[in-house]
Copies of this chain bind each other. A is one copy, B any other.
Amino acid sequence: MKVYEIRNGFGFDALTLTERPEPKPGPGQVLVKVHAVSLNFRDLMVVAGIYNPKMALPRVPCSDGAGEVVDVGENVKAVKRGDRVAGTFFQRWVEGDVTIDKAKSTLGGDLDGMLSEYVVLNEHGVIPVPEHLSYEEASTLPCAGVTAWNALITHGGLKAGDSVLVQGTGGVSIFSLQFSKMMGARVIATSSSDKKLERVHSLGASEGINYKTTPKWDERARELTNGIGVDHLVEVGGAGTLSASLRAIRPGGQISMIGVLSGPGEVNPLPILMKNIRVQGIFVGNRAVFEAMNRAITINRLKPVVDRVFEFKEAHEALRYMESGAHFGKICIRI
Contacts and interface: CB of A to CB of B under 8 A. Distances in A.
Interface residues of A, number: 64
A18 interface: no
A258 interface: yes
Contacts of A276: 98, 103, 281-283
A46 B242 CA distance: 27
A102 to B, nearest CB: 9
A296 B160 contact: yes
Interface stretch (A209-217, A266-274, A317-325): A266-274
Given A183-B159, A184-B300, A278-B279, A257 B239 contact: no
Interface in A172-215: 179, 182-186, 206
Interface string A149-169: 000010001111110000000
B299 A251 contact: no
B292 A161 contact: yes
A21 interface: no
Contact of A273 (B98, B257, B264): B257
A97 interface: yes
B157 A157 contact: yes
A120 B292 CA distance: 34
Given A272-B281, A288-B96, A182 B153 contact: no
B279 A186 contact: no
A87 interface: no
A179 B281 CA distance: 26
A97 B288 contact: yes
A273 B269 contact: no
6 contacts: A161-B299, A185-B299, A239-B268, A267-B269, A272-B281, A278-B279
Interface of A: 27, 94-100, 103, 153, 157-162, 179, 182-186, 206, 227-228, 238-239, 242, 251-252, 257-260, 264-283, 288, 292-300
